[in-house]
Chains A and B, each alone.
Chain A
């Protein structure tokens, strides 16, 4: 998968919040084989560099960092956070979140498009956290985004792919754009399903961080993502109603 001219082998991107400890986070990232981790700056920053100890720890993981604007509820907040993220992590990458509704953490797609336009103009490479809405997707691409990250379900719910039709049509409408299912996954089977549907990668956090054994769950997701991708490449059979025995019955000896 190529995103913003960077070739990525692993199709699993991992969040870094909510782990029992940084040591367990490190173990989970290693077990996941992820090449990209996302990290939030909003709360930790306190308007300055007070989150530096944790950010240094993230940087020392040896993987590419995709800073995010989690917790931002306005365009201004998101843009400011993105600018700080660029300084802290020395990367043009930004996972853009503009939250519009507090209960579902549903993206404010209007603010998202505006922030994406501002940031793209400033040279950022924007990874927008969006819904599966096709028109929003068009606008985000027009705003300069070269990758889209639709939700599977609201953040942290673990509900999986709640709108398969919407995700399928997004894939069909934008066959050339890298699409990453971001948020809402709870189980590896859901990640495999996203890959089978033709998505390029999945991004998740809670499902791994809140598992009883995050490192083992990270590995489980890595295997599922690999399985889903392999299944897609292998051209799966079409489902059908009539049974078709896998061994021929004709000519079998009939005793009796």
Chain B
């Protein structure tokens, strides 16, 4: 590292912690501040699914998400424990088989499994679905454990954390990286919130080894195993900026879909429900913005854990070489659209 700088990262969600990690690895002197008491419930990353599933996301997401997301599995596996590389299974109820066909047309890097293939991977789903898509290269992690592990790792290499502190009370001498997520709407005018609801179930009757996605015309669902019988169910996607309130409808939709994957979920214990908003720009793609000594990284939408590593690397590269313009660097969306 020829030119170490002092960098203050504002925001200890997944975008901020990944940025701090990469910048520290490149030899910069990094500190992290956050308005919350620790990496936790104030960041929408806390409610994430933790799926590292770039190919599945290609169903709806831009090509850039599929491409940039492919670095995520190795990035996380090198830095936090317990990244499970067991792939993703995508299924549909018999009446929704057309949805599975559509999903297969829009994605890639999967193999088609029959009943036997499904039973081999997930014995508890034996006989429940006749066809599935298996995305073998995908992985998943527990977002809360991963964020906690990143904080520990950063502390060990000398990164200072200042919690319970607002950005405006802090006037750092060096560079500033604004990774506040939805809270940065005060400076990023075209940022909006997209609400998501999730819940965590505990069941001793069913064992799933990997994330299972149910494609459905109205209520798509994913179930992510979190260990010790815990399963995270997500996630609704609503164009609303309401935080925190979990609706009965959201939970009913998620539970109905889980029941369609396996009726045993009906007997599961509801351990937690949660809701937050994902920060997103109009094209649902992340942005890196530079204003003098300040950088903003935001708009990771539903792809926080998938895209934060790639965004962090591009941020670090931009800091190292100001002439470098990564693909996610741009001006306001409207300016970009007319450029």
Chain A interfacial positions (CB closer than 8 Å to B): 20-24, 26, 43-46, 48, 50-54, 57, 156, 210, 212
What's the least CB distance linking B226 to chain A, in Å? 27
Could you tell me the dominant secondary structure of chain B's interface residues? Answer: loop
**Which residues on the A side are within 8 Å of B282 (C-beta)?**
21-23, 26, 57
**Which residues on the B side are within 8 Å of A210 (C-beta)?**
102
- Assembly CA distance A173 to B206 (angstroms): 58
In the complex the two chains form, is A23's CB within 8 Å of B283's CB?
Answer: yes
Given A43-B238, A51-B240, A53-B193, verify A20-B284 contact (CB < 8 Å): yes
Closest residue on chain A to residue B191 by CB atoms: A53
Closest residue on chain B to residue A102 by CB atoms: B218
Given A53-B193, A212-B105, verify A20-B242 contact (CB < 8 Å): no
**Which residues on the A side are within 8 Å of B337 (C-beta)?**
23
Closest residue on chain A to residue B217 by CB atoms: A156
List 12 additional contacts besides A20-B60, A26-B282, A50-B195; criterion CB under 8 Å.
A20-B62, A21-B62, A21-B285, A22-B283, A23-B282, A23-B283, A43-B240, A44-B238, A46-B245, A53-B239, A57-B282, A212-B106
Chain B interfacial positions (CB closer than 8 Å to A): 60-62, 102, 105-106, 192-193, 195, 217-218, 238-242, 245, 247, 249, 280, 282-285, 333, 337
**Which residues on the B side are within 8 Å of A45 (C-beta)?**
240
Closest residue on chain A to residue B285 by CB atoms: A21
How many A-B pairs have beta carbons closer than 8 Å: the answer is: 55
Closest residue on chain B to residue A158 by CB atoms: B98
**Which residues on the B side are within 8 Å of A54 (C-beta)?**
192, 239-240
What's the least CB distance linking A121 to chain B, in Å? 30
In the complex the two chains form, is B239's CB within 8 Å of A51's CB?
Answer: yes
Those 3 A-B pairs whose CB atoms lie nearest each other, nearest first: A23-B283, A54-B239, A50-B242
In the complex the two chains form, is B61's CB within 8 Å of A52's CB?
Answer: no
Q: Which single member of B105, B217, B284 contacts A23 (CB below 8 Å)? A: B284
**Which residues on the B side are within 8 Å of A43 (C-beta)?**
238, 240, 249
In the complex the two chains form, is A44's CB within 8 Å of B61's CB?
Answer: no
Given A20-B60, A20-B284, verify A44-B240 contact (CB < 8 Å): yes
- Assembly CA distance A9 to B280 (angstroms): 34
**Which residues on the B side are within 8 Å of A46 (C-beta)?**
240, 242, 245, 247
**Which residues on the A side are within 8 Å of B218 (C-beta)?**
156
What's the least CB distance linking B335 to chain A, in Å? 13
- Assembly CA distance A9 to B125 (angstroms): 53
- Assembly CA distance A51 to B62 (angstroms): 24
In the complex the two chains form, is B241's CB within 8 Å of A52's CB?
Answer: yes
Q: Which single member of B241, B249, B280, B285 contacts A50 (CB below 8 Å)? A: B241
**Which residues on the B side are within 8 Å of A20 (C-beta)?**
60-62, 284
In the complex the two chains form, is B240's CB within 8 Å of A50's CB?
Answer: yes
Closest residue on chain B to residue A55 by CB atoms: B239
What's the least CB distance linking B237 to chain A, in Å? 10
What's the least CB distance linking B242 to chain A, in Å? 4
